[in-house]
């Protein structure tokens, strides 16, 4: 572990106090997130990046893939290394790392082709994540808390508990706030707790960051074609299964090409499904290049994490999860409608 003493007794503690001594002197640190990082992943990575830089560490964020253009406003985003574009550089950085922070994912397959290099690294691996059933044996130290609203809130907790809270500046606050509103649906999802609002209040007191500009950058920063794509999807790709109180939307590759849909342009599309009265389960299926991707959302007690794990090689949270499949679009729809019948009683 490059001379680092890993804190693994007990593993996956809620308080990371045993790890802080490892940050007492400058280290070479890599921060990575899940593929196609969303607002929470990118916000957590960049928030932690600025904090570690302020402590004097040599920190670099490596993303397994590209990310949505609407995240490029985040301070430090221009320094993020895209593994798929700069593979040789990324591998070199990982080989030199002493500590690797793994944020907003709980199993290594979520970092795609970056996974084997992280797995083989001798650096101390630190997980900060809020998804269920983490792959504990792959990390030397971890903070796993499914009750937290977002990984950004967990990074905030990590900073506060470190006793270096005075290092929080407006760049850190902006990144963490952006991730929180991304993963909580601007504070409407069930995981939003008193601690989430307390965090925002504290960041406001410390830096008085401009929350209005952040909302505009996150939600009012798309091309016209995306809006037309959403209209097209709602009009032609929506299927409401009233007997199961479920709505599903299936997006073929032709639609992505027609409307020039890029990474991040389908963000939030699945949430429209739950806006229909009486609908408790929303499922979005998109035909990607290498596989079919599922997004699941639910209301109340219906557990989409269990549904995704049982049927579509996925997982996530109780009310928000994802899945994947190598089968065709048509085969996925058929399987979904078949297995959905098993949950009809739960969805009444």
By CB atoms closer than 10 A (0-12, 13-18, 19+), residue 135 is: middle
Burial per residue of 187-218, b for 16 or more beta-carbon CB atoms within 10 angstroms, e otherwise? eebebbeeebeebbeebeeebebebeebeebb
Using only C-alpha atoms, the chain has a radius of gyration, in whole angstroms, of 20
- pLDDT at position 12 is 47
**Distance between CA atoms of residues 235 and 223, nearest Å:** 19
Query: Cα–Cα distance between 160 and 164 in angstroms, integer?
Result: 7
CA-to-CA dists, residue 313 to 126, 128, 294, 328, angstroms: 24, 22, 10, 15
Q: Do the domains 225-343 and 17-219 match in fold?
A: no
Please tell me the predicted confidence (pLDDT) of residue 5. 36
Q: How far is CA 269 from the centre of its chain?
A: 16
Task: List the chain pLDDT tens, one digit each, 348 residues.
Answer: 343 333 333 444 444 556 788 898 999 999 999 999 999 999 999 999 999 999 999 999 999 999 999 999 999 999 999 999 999 999 999 999 999 999 999 999 999 999 999 999 999 999 999 998 888 888 888 888 899 999 999 999 999 989 899 999 999 999 999 999 999 999 998 899 999 999 999 999 999 999 999 999 999 999 999 999 999 999 999 999 999 999 999 999 999 999 999 989 999 999 999 999 999 999 999 998 789 999 999 999 999 999 999 999 999 899 999 999 999 999 999 999 999 999 999 998
Long-range contacts of 68-71 (CB under 8 A, 24+ apart): 68/36, 68/38, 68/262, 68/263, 68/264, 68/265, 68/267, 69/262, 69/263, 69/264, 70/217, 70/218, 70/221, 70/222, 70/264, 71/37, 71/39, 71/42, 71/264
pLDDT score for 289: 78
Residue 58 phi/psi, 5° resolution?
A: -90, 90
| CA pair distance 279, 263, nearest whole angstrom | 27
> Do residues 328 and 232 lie in contact, with contact meaning Cβ atoms separated by under 8 Å?
no
What the block records as the tokens of 180 is 């929180």
Do you find a cis peptide bond into 99, omega within 30 degrees of 0? Answer: no
Q: Is the pTM of this model over 0.85?
A: yes
**At a CB cut-off of 8 Å and minimum separation 6, what does 193 contact?**
147, 149
Name the CATH code of domain 225-343 (choices 3.30.43.10, 3.10.310.30, 1.10.10.410, 3.30.428.10). Answer: 3.10.310.30
pLDDT value at residue 173 = 98
- For residue 163, give the DSSP letter: T
- Per-residue confidence (pLDDT) for residue 2, from 0 to 100: 40
Question: Residue ranges of the domains in the chain?
Answer: 17-219, 225-343
The fourth-level CATH superfamily of domain 17-219 is inorganic pyrophosphatase (n-terminal core) (3.90.1640.10)
- Are 248 and 284 in contact by the 8 Å Cβ rule? The answer is yes
16 φ, ψ to 5°? -85, 25
């Amino acid at each position: 572990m490059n001379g680092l003493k890993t804190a693994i007794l007990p593993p996956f503690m809620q308080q990371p106090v045993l790890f802080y001594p490892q940050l007492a002197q400058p280290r070479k640190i890599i921060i990575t997130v899940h593929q196609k990082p969303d607002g929470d992943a990118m916000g957590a990575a960049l928030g932690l990046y600025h904090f570690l830089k302020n402590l004097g560490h040599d920190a670099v964020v490596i993303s397994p893939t590209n990310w949505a253009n609407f995240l490029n406003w985040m301070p430090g985003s221009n320094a993020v290394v895209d593994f798929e574009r700069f593979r040789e550089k990324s591998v070199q950085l990982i080989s030199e790392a002493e500590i690797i922070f793994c944020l907003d994912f709980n199993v290594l397959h979520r970092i795609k082709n970056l996974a084997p290099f992280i797995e083989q690294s001798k650096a101390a691996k630190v997980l900060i994540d809020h998804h269920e059933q983490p792959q504990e044996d792959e990390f030397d130290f971890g903070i796993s808390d499914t009750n937290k609203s977002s990984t950004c809130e967990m990074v905030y907790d990590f900073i506060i508990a470190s006793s270096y809270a005075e290092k929080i500046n407006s760049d850190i606050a902006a990144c963490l706030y952006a991730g929180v509103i991304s993963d909580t649906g601007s504070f409407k999802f069930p995981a939003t707790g008193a601690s989430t609002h307390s965090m925002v209040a504290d960041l406001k007191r410390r830096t008085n960051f401009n929350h209005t500009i952040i909302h505009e950058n996150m939600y009012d920063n798309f091309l016209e074609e995306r809006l037309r794509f959403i209209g097209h999807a709602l009009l032609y790709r929506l299927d409401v299964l009233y007997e199961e109180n479920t709505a599903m939307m299936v997006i073929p590759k032709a639609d992505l090409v027609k409307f020039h849909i890029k990474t991040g342009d389908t963000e939030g599309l699945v949430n429209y499904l739950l806006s229909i009265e009486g609908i408790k389960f929303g499922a979005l299926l998109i035909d990607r290049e290498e596989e079919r991707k599922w997004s699941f959302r639910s209301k109340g007690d219906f557990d989409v994490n269990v549904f995704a794990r049982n049927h579509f090689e996925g997982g996530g949270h109780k009310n928000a999860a994802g899945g994947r499949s190598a089968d065709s679009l048509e085969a996925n729809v058929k399987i979904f409608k078949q297995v959905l019948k098993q949950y009809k009683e739960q969805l009444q």
